[in-house]
Amino acid sequence: MDMSTDIKDFPIPNLAGPIGVFDSGFGGLTILEGIRNRMPQFDYIYLGDNARTPYGTRSFDVVYEFTLQAVKKLFSFGCPLVILGCNTASAKALRSIQQNYLPFNAPDRRVLGVIRPTAEIVGKLSNTKHIGVLATEGTIRSESYSIEIEKLYPGSIITGQACPMWVPIVENNEFDKPGADYFVKDSIDKLLSKDPQIDTIILGCTHYPLLLEKIKKYCPSNIKIIPQGKYIAESLEDYFVRHPEMSSRITQNGTCKYFTTESRTKFRECANLFLKEDIQVERVTIN
């Protein structure tokens, strides 16, 4: 990596700017919504790599490469802090970005993920400590949730189920159509047949809250379902309390700008369904 080039890319240290939120597509909007509801005073920039979604079936190297490109783009927009609002990117790229990229290329910026904060909360919500994780193939294979939960709550039994069809269903705006029922029921049945004692299920992909009604329909009512937005927002607020040097660098005009690597029209139509508001969006290239 050419470190001098990267340093030139982000020449102003300790600058103030918006919080960047990144996802492979629309899923991170569920995280953005949670954060904005809790901290509406801040400025935000959302970036969806819709042209290259889904990430869930891609290799570690490719997810790292794409995620780093997105982080650099958000840094170039002036974001001092970027949230990977994507479990797959958090599982496959976050650690490398934090350990190998930031210290040498952008030491005054921070990148945070969504897996650790979700792992922290799930152990408090589960009574049986039998925890289910529904996520992309990449997140399940990475075993990130098992590793994090086991570290925090030793002895927990964590069972994962990949749901390869769920992201395409959401990205193609089919999440409230009858066809989605088959795939939602199928993945939940597979998860619960592996461990019938599961009492808490993490929706370990930020797209899945869009399928929440159907997920609830096919889950026994005693099982707690955990969408991440609210908990990531609480965790970020706590981070700001512990890191006032970062919260003081987030600009506060209550704005939110949206960028996509795909067509603006497609993004705006789908984002309206996620956010229930009309938004302006720009197309951007990040390779």
Instruction: With beta carbons less than 8 A apart as the criterion, state whether 133 and 223 touch.
Output: no
Rounded Cα distance between 147 and 150, Å, is: 5
* DSSP secondary structure letter of residue 136: -
Binding mask 82-121 for ligand DGL (x = CB under 6 A): ----xxx---------------------------------
Q: Is 167 in the site for ligand DGL (CB under 6 A)?
A: yes
CB of 106 or CB of 232, closer to ligand DGL? 232
Q: Which stretch binds ligand DGL (CB under 6 A): 122-130, 174-182, 203-211, 218-226?
A: 203-211
Q: Is 209 in the site for ligand DGL (CB under 6 A)?
A: no
Helix/strand/coil percentages in the chain, nearest 5: 50, 15, 35
Q: Does residue 205 have an active-site annotation?
A: yes
φ, ψ of residue 276 in degrees (nearest 5):
55, 35
Least distance between ligand DGL and beta carbon 79 (Å): 19
CB of 88 or CB of 146, closer to ligand DGL? 88
Rounded Cα distance between 69 and 285, Å, is: 10
Rounded Cα distance between 23 and 53, Å, is: 9
Binding mask 28-67 for ligand DGL (x = CB under 6 A): -------------------------xxxx-----------
Least distance between ligand DGL and beta carbon 25 (Å): 6
Rounded Cα distance between 79 and 251, Å, is: 9
Q: Is 207 in the site for ligand DGL (CB under 6 A)?
A: yes
Query: Shortest CA distance to 7 belongs to which of 99, 98, 104?
Result: 104
- Among 86, 219, 256, 270, the one annotated catalytic: 86
Q: Does residue 219 have an active-site annotation?
A: no
Q: Which stretch binds ligand DGL (CB under 6 A): 32-40, 204-212, 235-243, 275-283?
A: 204-212
- Among 205, 219, 256, 270, the one annotated catalytic: 205
Tokens 């009492």 appear where? 199
Q: Which residues, at least 6 apart from 108, have a Cβ–Cβ distance to it below 8 Å? A: 13, 14, 80
Instruction: With beta carbons less than 8 A apart as the criterion, state whether 145 and 115 touch.
Output: yes
CB of 200 or CB of 228, closer to ligand DGL? 228
Rounded Cα distance between 5 and 66, Å, is: 18
Q: Is 156 in the site for ligand DGL (CB under 6 A)?
A: no
Rounded Cα distance between 75 and 8, Å, is: 12
Least distance between ligand DGL and beta carbon 241 (Å): 26
Known catalytic residues?
Answer: 86, 205
Residues that bind ligand DGL (CB under 6 A): 23-25, 27, 53-56, 86-88, 136, 139, 167, 205-207
